[in-house]
A and B are shown apart, each in its own frame.
Chain A
């Protein structure tokens, strides 16, 4: 069973039901089915063969979903390209993945002109009308939107697939700064999609938000779980996700029932969208994943939405989701964290020490995962590297006596300060328990622990932050350098960008990390003299 077969049965049963709504056009199941066939025909006609990668460079929209579906129906593998990514990074991905075919939304063409397209791209397929003359990009062939529209919408011969065939490649930032592709198969995706749709009780006709970018694995639920159950995907576009108020407006206007995002989006609705006052009566279930949900924010979000079921999903892109926890109710006032739950999607987990031996309950070790959601491998430097089995996630966890798994942070967030092992996540959790800290991250610089925090109350002082840590953490875990700033840089997924925060702090870049100046100028002059 491949992902591309989800839509047709619904197109036959409920042809007029909206499959994808927005942002600028809505497609019914019948329309989506036909448009996907048109894309598939064009792609096949220009040479896409089973296993060929097709870049999808477009904002989230009904047509973009049709292009992804069409790619799979042509036997291809879709590679979502971040519309917000700088041309140089796109160039790296195109080269690394050997993308000969790119489906592109015309307004994004400028990117490629700027980048001076070269290398593997041979064909552009447009998702809308464009003024660009075909000759402008020679020797690259440009296939105008009219060519897609003119192709037959009738079903085409199935690519004849095996479950382990590659379905899509998601590029994540490698630790070296060079993006690497995570290869996911149809089997990987289906295992997650089936599990998630059941877990959340997805029903036909449900209205499911699409908040996450398509190059982020959260979107696999939004697109494929939604289409597998005959539900409607409602696009919450890029201009909306930056505003808490606009997001909540969209939930109200579109009667959204199911929502999957990083915690930051929910916190934004709480703090700037009026979630506590306005509520969201249509919402039934929320999945969150991708970063830790600070307890004080989760408590408030859950209190604002008492009728909603909350699930904490966990897993690196390499395993999509491998653990899940249904949050039973708002966390207690003294709760520092909630569990990440138990194995999901048919996966099997184990927790091992540095020698690979299983650790007893309560002891922290690395999480290993095996099962149907573990990726095929990496696509990196033009080569395929198969995944290790079981897959070592690099996440440090422990098992509670009741079987629930607790998260302790990334293995690479485990640093040594003067010989003491410090888990940065633990420092961050302690920082987050302060009522006047909106968000905070910690990292190590030359044996020094640094915390960068965004206060929600301007009265918060560095001394108060240290005192708070001193009350909760061993002495060696108290950040010696605490910076209070206006905000933290974010990745295109909406998560706090740790790498850029650290670099900006080291470089003293005040444009990224705007310091909250609390120092009286007179005293500063005195120090300089002293």
Chain B
């Protein structure tokens, strides 16, 4: 489950902000240090997560720690999927 979420988030970021060029980018890349996430791209990413995984993210969920890497984003998504019981919405 987490692997699939990771793959989807990774692909979304690569196609949205890296012009499809995944070289050098992986689950551990620091999204802010790499200049990928700012307050505006963060909003698009949150919208993508909410739509794709049919979850709701609280403002408290959205912070520098949870949005540091693809790994941390995926962990958050899996957590929310677990609590909201909205699993199976990935496809």
Contact = CB atoms under 8 A, between A and B. Distances in A.
Chains A and B bind each other: yes
Interface of A: 418, 461-464, 466-467, 469-470, 475-476, 478, 480-484, 518-520, 523-524, 526-527, 530
A466 B20 contact: no
A480 B17 contact: yes
B24 A524 contact: no
A181 to B, nearest CB: 40
B11 interface: yes
Given A466-B36, A469-B35, A475-B35, A527 B15 contact: yes
B29 interface: yes
Interface of B: 8, 11, 15, 17-25, 29, 32-36, 38, 40-41
Q: Which 4 A-B pairs have the closest CB atoms?
A: A470-B35, A466-B35, A461-B23, A462-B21
29 contacts: A418-B40, A461-B23, A461-B24, A461-B25, A462-B21, A463-B18, A463-B34, A466-B35, A467-B34, A467-B35, A469-B35, A470-B35, A475-B38, A476-B38, A478-B35, A480-B40, A480-B41, A482-B18, A483-B19, A484-B21, A518-B20, A518-B23, A519-B20, A519-B22, A523-B11, A524-B20, A526-B11, A527-B11, A530-B8
Contacts of A475: 35, 38
Given A466-B34, A470-B34, A523 B24 contact: no
B19 A462 contact: yes
Given A418-B40, A467-B33, A518-B20, 15 more contacts: A462-B18, A462-B19, A462-B23, A463-B23, A464-B24, A466-B17, A469-B35, A470-B34, A470-B35, A475-B35, A475-B38, A484-B19, A523-B22, A524-B20, A527-B11
Contacts of B8: 530
A520 B38 CA distance: 27
A516 to B, nearest CB: 9
A520 B24 CA distance: 13
B65 to A, nearest CB: 17
B36 to A, nearest CB: 6
Nearest to B26: A463
A223 B73 CA distance: 64
A418 B24 CA distance: 29
Nearest to B21: A462
Nearest to A478: B35
A384 B37 CA distance: 51
Contacts of B17: 466, 480-481
Contacts of A462: 18-19, 21, 23
A463 B29 contact: yes
A403 B23 CA distance: 46
A519 B21 contact: yes
A104 B4 CA distance: 69
Contacts of B32: 470
B40 to A, nearest CB: 6
B78 to A, nearest CB: 18
A482 B18 CA distance: 7
Contacts of B38: 475-476, 478
A530 B15 CA distance: 12
A482 B33 contact: no
A463 B41 contact: no
A518 B21 contact: yes
Contacts of B41: 480
Contacts of A418: 40
B24 A463 contact: yes
B5 to A, nearest CB: 12
Nearest to A473: B35
A418 B20 CA distance: 24
Given A463-B24, A464-B24, A526-B11, A470 B33 contact: yes
Contacts of A481: 17, 19
Contacts of B29: 463
Nearest to B40: A418
A480 B23 CA distance: 17
Nearest to A463: B24
Centre residue among A461, A463, A523, A524 by max chain B CB count within 10 A: A463
B1 to A, nearest CB: 16
Contacts of B36: 463, 466
A483 B17 CA distance: 10
B25 A463 contact: yes
Nearest to A479: B35
A480 B31 CA distance: 13
Nearest to A417: B40
Contacts of B40: 418, 480
A467 B25 CA distance: 11
A518 B18 CA distance: 11
Contacts of B34: 463, 466-467, 470
B29 to A, nearest CB: 7
